[in-house]
Structure 1
Amino acid sequence: MRQITVVGAGKIGATIASFLHGTGDYRVTLLDRDAAHLQSLDLASEIVRKPVDIASELTAGDLRGQFAVLSAAPFHLTRVIAKAAADAGVHYLDLTEDVASTKAVRTLAEGASTAFIPQCGLAPGFVSIAAHDIASRFDSLDTIRLRVGALPRFPANALGYNLTWSTDGLINEYIEPCEAIVNGRHVLVPAMDGYETLGVDGVAYEAFNTSGGLGSLCETYEGQVRELNYRTMRYPGHAAIMKVLLSDLRLSERRHILHDIFTHALPTTPQDVVVIFVTVTGQRGNRLQQETLARTIPAQDFMGAPRTAIQLTTAGSICAVLDLLSEGKIPAKGFVRQEDIALDAFLANRFGGVYHG
């Protein structure tokens, strides 16, 4: 039985712990700074709960003897957790979308005897795997476009949005510069720009640039595509209101205020849906062709309990990658990109199968 530590006992971290314990293949320890919160979680008693202030107390000693550490902590703690994993000589996986944090993980992975696999969630994560798989079937490439939305099924406010995951992560992706390939060049473009409309399964959405969703795809495809970008999908009207908050009211300069507004004004909901729309265009057989992978994944029961769509897709993705690592189906040392993971193997996995839609 593999020993696993999960860092961060929020909604996603607790779900990861539950999923892994439920397989019977992993012995799980869950770390979080909030001891009362840890004890309040409705989790199996066999899951070890250990209060640790990650920012100031986490050391290699907390991780030695583990097969892997999985980080579901806020992105600003990524470097601390990855460094402890490196010092302990254990595999490291995370869910971060933050570009700077991932660069720090890449540096730690240089010469490492264990695997460092960041960005194992939905986007980046599954969409990177899917885009790379589709792109591999073209003779030459023109565009790769990734669109993802984590949304309430029943929007009931002007933003058309409910909190479904990390508030800090949400704000970060709305503000930080976004990587893209434009006219064949790897560039940074502003968040909230690139506005477009699209439809999936008869539902209208808008989409705009947000940070972090491409993972390492820009490096992988620079010089091979004319255009590569990632945009977040929302219900129509969301972007206009966010621009008022971020630009006109300048809350992008006062993130703590925006955090308080979202936390106190936007309710969470268990009735959510994840929408995925990945499109690749290029030459195949001397013809310009397009291939699209589209998924709409609702909240549903999984492993004997109701799960939100964001729990299924995010926790399910990192658990699938851990399984594949444990089974020797992906590289076991150094920096591992999501593109290094085969889509067929991912979808055949007991957790990756949630993406069949």
Structure 2
Amino acid sequence: MKEVVVVGGGKIGSMIAEMLAGCGDYAVTVADASAQALERLETTAPVRKVQVDIADAAALDRLLAGKFAVLSAAPFHLTVAIARAAKTAGAHYLDLTEDVASTRAVKALAKDARSAFVPQCGLAPGFIGIAAYDLAQRFDELHDVRMGVGALPKFPSNALNYNLTWSTDGLINEYCEPCEAIVGGVRRETQPLEDREEFALDGVLYEAFNTSGGLGTLCETLDGKVRNLSYRTIRYPGHAALMKALLNDLRLRERRAVLKDILENALPATLQDVVIVFVSVSGLRGGRLMQETYAQKIYGAPIGGRARSAIQITTAAGICTVLDLLAEGKLPTAGFVRQEDVVLADFLANRFGRRYAPSQAEELAA
């Protein structure tokens, strides 16, 4: 049985711990600075709970000593400290961050590491990049790769058409930070909340707009190989305009703590959500202009006798699948590992990755 540490005892950390401890192959320790978070941990499988200040490097080093892996479900600003401790301990490192600067720091730490460093293992970045790269490899010449993900309430009931489904800090970060893209064959930065478009899926109208971090390392991987590459967050129509008013007109972009307080006290959480994954790739194959699309809806479901949201399930399933593939020797075990290094077929065949498989998603929706 492999010993792993999950840092962060929130909704996503709880789901990761439940999946890993429940499968019987991992001995799970959940670490958090908050005793209250550990007390409220939503797990039925047996886990060890440790209160630790992530800023205390010595305590973190002791916690990770001898462990097979550490999985970070902590806020993005703690990413580098956890990755640094993983390197010291020789433990494999996995995280869920969408923060571009943090991922660059993790990549630098991985250069001479004796263990694997696999950032951005969630939904977006994460699975969306695995699916997009799989489609991209089916073309002789790539033209456009368009990616989008949304975690949305099934029953929107406020002006933003949104409920809080994951980290508020992460949400604000992706709405405020510059976005990576390839436009006309040139890597560049684009602005968040811009390049809005509308599309319909299963008869429902959505909007999509630029947000930061969702591309993971695909800009680097496909640089010089694709004409246009973009990632956009999917919401119900009207959301982007209201968020731009809050961030730009009311200048809450400069007062993120205030915006976080407003959102967390005005928007309720919900377990009745749906995750939408959308990838469209076009280019030449056999001399013909072709297009392939991957589209999926995934719904919440009970796990461990408790209702779980779709964003909990998909995010936790992503990082748990990558951990399994590492343990099985299907991924490099040292240095920096990209999401594109994960084979889509291996991911979907995995016991955790099956949560993304079309038949499983349909079953969950029933």
Q: CA-to-partner distance for each residue in 1:90-139, whole Å, 9 max, x for gaps?
A: 10000000000000000000011100000000001001000000011101
TM score, norm. by length of structure 2: 0.96
For 1:42 and 1:294, the matched residues in 2 are separated by: 30
Aligned to 2:28: 28
For 1:173 and 1:42, the matched residues in 2 are separated by: 27
8 Å Cα contact 2:21-2:45 kept in structure 1: no
For 1:286 and 1:240, the matched residues in 2 are separated by: 41
For 2:150 and 2:43, the matched residues in 1 are separated by: 28
Aligned to 1:347: 348
Aligned to 2:185: 184
What is the CA-CA distance between 1:285 and the residue it aligns to?
Answer: 1.1
User: What one-letter code is carried by the residue in structure 1 that aligns with 2:9?
Assistant: A
8 Å Cα contact 2:6-2:17 kept in structure 1: yes
Q: Secondary structure at the match of 2:152?
A: strand
Aligned to 2:167: 166
Aligned to 1:280: 281
The answer for unaligned runs of 5 or more in structure 2 is 362-366
For 1:136 and 1:286, the matched residues in 2 are separated by: 15
Aligned to 1:54: 54
Q: Secondary structure at the match of 2:20?
A: helix
What is the CA-CA distance between 1:301 and the residue it aligns to?
Answer: 2.4
Question: Stretches of 4+ moved more than 6 A in 1?
Answer: none
Q: Secondary structure at the match of 1:274?
A: strand
Aligned to 1:18: 18
What is the CA-CA distance between 1:302 and the residue it aligns to?
Answer: 3.4
1:301-316 equivalence runs, <5 A: 301-316=302-317
Residues 1:154 and 2:178 are matched in the alignment = no
For 2:45 and 2:51, the matched residues in 1 are separated by: 15
What is the CA-CA distance between 1:36 and the residue it aligns to?
Answer: 2.5
Aligned to 2:364: none
For 1:348 and 1:296, the matched residues in 2 are separated by: 18
What is the CA-CA distance between 1:39 and the residue it aligns to?
Answer: 2.0
Q: CA-to-partner distance for each residue in 1:30-67, whole Å, 9 max, x for gaps?
A: 00001122123243473100001112354322101100
For 1:11 and 1:46, the matched residues in 2 are separated by: 17
Aligned to 2:119: 118
8 Å Cα contact 2:10-2:41 kept in structure 1: no
User: What one-letter code is carried by the residue in structure 2 that aligns with 1:56?
Assistant: D
Aligned to 2:138: 137
Greater CA drift, 295-304 or 13-22? 295-304
User: What one-letter code is carried by the residue in structure 1 that aligns with 2:356?
Assistant: Y
Aligned to 1:8: 8
Aligned to 2:256: 255
For 2:190 and 2:140, the matched residues in 1 are separated by: 28
State the number of aligned residues: 357
TM score, norm. by length of structure 1: 0.98
Q: CA-to-partner distance for each residue in 1:229-260, whole Å, 9 max, x for gaps?
A: 00000000101101110111110011011001
Flag the 1:39–1:302 CA change in 2: closer, same or farther, 3 A: closer
What is the CA-CA distance between 1:307 and the residue it aligns to?
Answer: 1.5
What is the CA-CA distance between 1:305 and the residue it aligns to?
Answer: 3.4
Q: Secondary structure at the match of 1:219?
A: helix
For 1:233 and 1:45, the matched residues in 2 are separated by: 34
What is the CA-CA distance between 1:304 and the residue it aligns to?
Answer: 4.3
Q: CA-to-partner distance for each residue in 1:8-39, whole Å, 9 max, x for gaps?
A: 00100011011100000000000000112212
8 Å Cα contact 2:15-2:43 kept in structure 1: no
The answer for unaligned runs of 5 or more in structure 1 is none
Q: CA-to-partner distance for each residue in 1:157-198, whole Å, 9 max, x for gaps?
A: 010000000000000000000000001011001111111001
Q: CA-to-partner distance for each residue in 1:274-330, whole Å, 9 max, x for gaps?
A: 001101000001111000000000111235432110011000110010001001111
Q: Secondary structure at the match of 2:56?
A: helix
